[in-house]
Chains A and B, each alone.
Chain A
């Protein structure tokens, strides 16, 4: 997995690529939580368009991000879900708790 951040005003967009799994999800979690809790971005967008698969530890990291955002009143948004990532979130019934958009334009306009 590779992850890079772009910042515009108080929005941070993470571009993630590769699989999010047990081996690398702690890194992603650390970066997200730093952005949410320390840098206090008011909106964190995770661009997952280049992510093939999210395993259960990756899902746990996304939930951590969501919970931290909720606690601080910021927004946590997922965009560009692949079919398999969407299916994993659908089965978990998490699609109803995450703010999900098809692309960056929609996420920034929302």
Chain B
């Protein structure tokens, strides 16, 4: 078909467009292609004009394209994504926007091609990145599962002796956390206890908790004074962990089961409690500050000695217990925990731990938002 007059008139305009433009007749013969289209495909005008568009596509591609062209013929326009054949055999991803013009001479299809290769490449990169991310996430989750197993292995096991028994509970808010507790027999008659809370939750806190676990275990076993132990821990945290905004609270105790005496010390930690028959639970408050934050947090009188009595229950815990909020926005606090300990201390020793946990859960609105550790010692 001869190039229609209206096309000759608008050629100059079509030439300056940033998109490739082709005009074809109703037999898909190419009547016009602008310079941008030539640039996109690599074909010369001579190779395109007068030829059937289908000759540039594979038969499979043309079979996919035909229904789209039919839509143009039926409804007058269409827009879809496809590929544009290039001279070297390549395929350029494009958005094809097609509009049918009907006049006295015949039907013409004006087709614009928008190069979306950058977008497709970006999508492809995003897809690859997502696959890589999913893979990494699975690896991290596997690492976390392993870390959680390691951390669970640090949780104190129940200790049942003639004169003392220890029961404990640990629940990290994420798969791993910054709380840990230990109850280590020292010789035949003594027991070393420690409950520690590294600020924050998750991997960083867990790593610090694991790092200081071994240090404090050794120090507790060696009989090091609590003042020295806390000094050492503070120095380690400031010098080794630095200004990462992380700090540690600790409650530590050594119990001489034979003499029924306990030495206790706390650093920025919620008060330990001794529940004794017929009395309000005795609070053993921290005398030293949180560790790892400031240079001189230790009070020289940090250790206190307590005479124990048969059937005393010693309760050590972390702030995941005290800082539980109810639906009215009230914090349970030390007073609330003290009341729960008082109430549950009439239960048999093996039911008291669960009684405390149930009461805290009853108070708290929703699941825990902080790691929770609880250790209960029964003096027999």
Contacts and interface: CB of A to CB of B under 8 A. Distances in A.
Nearest to B290: A92
B194 interface: no
B230 to A, nearest CB: 12
Given A53-B325, A67-B243, A87-B334, 20 more contacts: A22-B200, A53-B323, A56-B199, A56-B200, A57-B245, A59-B290, A60-B247, A63-B247, A63-B293, A64-B245, A83-B331, A84-B330, A84-B331, A88-B319, A88-B323, A91-B322, A92-B268, A93-B268, A93-B288, A94-B290
Given A52-B329, A61-B245, A91 B289 contact: no
B249 A92 contact: yes
B289 A94 contact: yes
A109 interface: no
B269 interface: yes
Given A92-B289, A94-B268, A97-B289, A56 B247 contact: yes
A63 B294 contact: yes
B287 interface: yes
B371 to A, nearest CB: 10
Contacts of A91: 249, 268-271, 286, 319, 322, 334
Interface in B329-380: 329-331, 333-334, 370
Query: Which of B288, B293, B299 has the largest number of chain A CB atoms within 10 A?
Result: B293
A96 B298 CA distance: 12
Nearest to A95: B289
A56 B197 CA distance: 10
Nearest to A54: B323
A55 B268 contact: no
B286 A55 contact: no
Given A84-B333, A88-B323, A55 B370 contact: yes
A56 B205 CA distance: 12
A92 B201 CA distance: 18
B323 A57 contact: no
B179 to A, nearest CB: 11
A55 B320 CA distance: 10
Contacts of B290: 59, 92-94
Interface in B157-215: 197, 199-201
**Size band of the interface chain A makes with B:** 20 to 34
Interface in B67-121: none
The number of chain B residues touching the other chain, given as a range, is: 20 to 34
Contacts of B293: 60, 63
Contacts of B65: none
A104 to B, nearest CB: 24
A44 to B, nearest CB: 18
Given A53-B325, A87-B333, A93-B268, A60 B288 contact: no
Contacts of B197: 56
Residue among B245, B268, B325, B333 with max Cβ neighbours from chain A (10 Å): B245
B206 to A, nearest CB: 14
Contacts of B249: 91-92
Contacts of A93: 267-268, 286-290, 297, 299
B289 A22 contact: no
A32 B246 CA distance: 18
A87 B331 contact: yes
Interface string A52-78: 110111011101100100000000000
Interface in B225-275: 243, 245-247, 249, 267-271
Nearest to A60: B245
A22 B199 CA distance: 10
